[in-house]
Amino acid sequence: MILMQLNNIEKYFGADLILSNIKLEVHSQDRIAIVGRNGAGKSTLLKIMSGEYTYDKGEMIRPRDTSIGYLAQNTGLESSLTIWEEMEQVFSELKQREKELRKLEEQMADPDLLEDHSTYEEILESYDAEQEEFRRLGGFEYEADIKAVLNGLQFSNVDTSISELSGGQKTRLALGKLLLSKPDILILDEPTNHLDIGTLNWLEQYLQNYQGAVVIVSHDRYFLDKTVNVVYEISFQTSNRYTGNYSDYLVQKAKDYEQNVKQYEKQQAEVKRLEDFIQKNIVRASTTKRAQSRRKKLEKMELMDKPMLENQSAKFSFEIERQSGNDVLKLEDLSFRYHPDKPDIFQHVNLSIHREDRIGLVGPNGIGKSTLLKTIIGQLNPHHGNIAYGTNVQIGYYDQEQTNLSSNKTVLDELWDEYPLKPEKEIRTVLGNFLFSGDDVLKTIPSLSGGEKARLVLAKLMLQKANFLIMDEPTNHLDLDSKEVLEAALMDFPGTILFVSHDRYFINRIATKIVEMSEEGTNLYLGDYDYYLMKKQEEKEIEELNAAQDETTHSQEDKNQFLQDKAQKREIRKLERRVEELEGQIHELEGKIEENEQHMVQPEFLKDHGKLQDLTNENEQMSAKLDELMEEWTNLQEKLADI
């Protein structure tokens, strides 16, 4: 089933043509990636699909009842509610239905109603219908869905106020709320931002099992390979469709380009042959008619445009000024805390780095990876432990926050002021290699995009010629082509690299060792990212095997006792949950009775005997219900005391 169809969409910003002749279809269960260079119009296309932007030409068709959910880049959820309360907002209709069911249950429990069989049957039928609809809409699962999504996105304390969260956490929460809404078409612009590797794995599995269609813009190749089955490339303002994941797209694109070049060259050879024949024979009486025939053939021929790839990629390589010693860095029992009275951000970090090591530092968000890098380069002082640098070690640092860029300089001055002895032509050549050409070098730093700032930081790092590169999320803001160039440059780098990245494809290409940070310290894995995953799986299987072996060593009596204890604990938890539920209902009834009693002494009620009688009757019913609940509560407390 087609959920959305775009035909010949055009979009202008002022006089600038951004998109032209865009053709795209979204079918149910599609997993679509929109790819292209930074500035190609990917985010603009997503906003057109979501309805946030209009378009200037073409048509967009979708069924009226098709729901769309859109997550823009770095969308932060702003709310005064707690995490759980905000997630419950998605299910407000279900919660209202739940209240209606509770009201019907109260009516059904009214003993007076049992005598009126026809009314009771009507309420019972209504209750059955409402309950079935509640079940169909997921009323019995929505709390479990909220817990699953929040756990997957690593929100453990659901009572935390959203106003207390960081920007990255608010972005993750906005993603979670959108996932819970389950639209027919889920449109995600860079959803992997602010996600650590564990959360990325969860999101991949979630999207693979998602019931609707998904449209994604992402620079994470590993993520795209795991999630998508269709790729639309935006190039030269137009779209091209490829079947398969991102790796399949790259293979198909290369084949198509090669085939188009051959067809173009073949056609050009045919054109030249015809032109040469016409030129030689047009004035000769014996061959003039043949020449005219060739001319007509040439005029009717539909000439191909020369196949072109999108704008050139950045070109750079990292060189070193001098070689370091064999021992580059040694960390011994290193820990850090921001305040003496606060807990450690990280602790028990032990690491030895040798020349030409390529070490990928991994671990969950908040474990202290970036803080460790800043401690190594001397921006922060360790609370405990030792840092020993090797001989002739020169550190070059890539800061993901790009704080080493000036706030008021041009691109040209930013680089030239660092290396004033180099001629302007050489500086411009370097900037040209990083795709800053012509007037681009006169742009001010604040006006640059995230990708442009990243390329400028890399240009400064390249000129530094350090032999030990320490890089914090170097692929952030880079498009896929720029990432490939960076990978190639780092793979040829003759020095040592320590880096933090959430880009699993990048880690796998660069790292020869993986260091995993945890609350207990660090673990070293002597291989790439795939090897690390394999060893982690082995460790998990060994733990499960040991647990199973330990269990088999227990006697049958111990096992029986274990099962009895487990059953008893389940029964206790069941009783405790019911006690909590009763206490909530008792508290609610007591509040309503007290509220009615306050109304009953008001002058307007004292004068209106009808309203006064209604309140009296209502309080009598609630008091009877309260007595029932209190009796059940007392019985449960006695049961708990006896267990």
- Predicted confidence band of residue 356 (pLDDT cuts 50, 70, 90): very high
- Predicted confidence band of residue 188 (pLDDT cuts 50, 70, 90): very high
Helix H or strand E segment including 174? helix 167-181
- Choose between 477 and 431: higher pLDDT: 431
List, in sequence order, every residue forming a beta bridge with 468; answer none if it has no partner: 395, 496
> How crowded is residue 109: how many other Cβ atoms within 10 Å of its Cβ?
11
Type of residue numbered 536? K
> Tokens at residue 99, please?
């209240």
Q: Which residue has the tokens 């990325």?
A: 200
- Choose between 186 and 366: higher pLDDT: 186
Helix H or strand E segment including 385? strand 384-389
Strand order in the sheet with 384-389: 346-354, 327-336, 384-389
Question: What pLDDT is stored for residue 303 in this prediction?
Answer: 81
- Predicted confidence band of residue 560 (pLDDT cuts 50, 70, 90): low
Give the β-pairing of 327-336 and 384-389. antiparallel
Best CA proximity match to 488, nearest among 458, 510, 520, 516 = 510
- Predicted confidence band of residue 106 (pLDDT cuts 50, 70, 90): confident
Question: What pLDDT is stored for residue 540 in this prediction?
Answer: 84
> How far apart, in whole angstroms, are the C-alpha atoms of residue 507 and residue 270?
48
Q: What is the DSSP string of 446-494?
A: GGS-HHHHHHHHHHHHHHHT-SEEEEESTTTT--HHHHHHHHHHHHT-S
- Predicted confidence band of residue 114 (pLDDT cuts 50, 70, 90): low
Type of residue numbered 545? L
514-535 per-position pLDDT tens digit: 999 999 999 999 999 989 988 9
Best CA proximity match to 360, nearest among 500, 504, 201 = 500
Best CA proximity match to 360, nearest among 526, 540, 538, 204 = 526
Residue range 385-391: average pLDDT? Answer: 94
Q: Which residue has the tokens 């048509």?
A: 59
Q: How many helices (H) and strands (E) does the chain have?
A: 21, 18
Sign of CA dihedral 598, 603, 608, 609: positive
Residue range 557-569: average pLDDT? Answer: 67
> How far apart, in whole angstroms, are the C-alpha atoms of residue 155 and residue 84?
10
Beta carbons of 120 and 105 less than 8 angstroms apart: no
> How far apart, in whole angstroms, are the C-alpha atoms of residue 397 and residue 472?
8
Question: What pLDDT is stored for residue 557 in this prediction?
Answer: 60
Strand order in the sheet with 16-27: 16-27, 2-13, 57-61
Beta carbons of 228 and 216 less than 8 angstroms apart: yes
For 568-600, b where at least 16 C-beta lie within 10 A, e where not — what string? eeeeeeeeeeebeebeebbeebeeebeebeeee
Q: Does pLDDT of 284 surpass 80? A: no
List, in sequence order, every residue forming a beta bridge with 61; answer none if it has no partner: 5
Question: What pLDDT is stored for residue 371 in this prediction?
Answer: 93
Which of 106-115, 272-281, 475-484, 584-593 has the least mean pLDDT? 106-115
Best CA proximity match to 474, nearest among 511, 446, 519, 445 = 511
Q: Does pLDDT of 592 surpass 60? A: yes
Question: What pLDDT is stored for residue 286 in this prediction?
Answer: 58
Residue range 402-414: average pLDDT? Answer: 85
Phi then psi for residue 416, to 5 deg, are -70, -35
Range ranked top by mean pLDDT from 5-14, 96-105, 298-307: 5-14
Question: What pLDDT is stored for residue 185 in this prediction?
Answer: 95
**DSSP 8-state class, residue 373:** H
> How far apart, in whole angstroms, are the C-alpha atoms of residue 240 and residue 257?
12
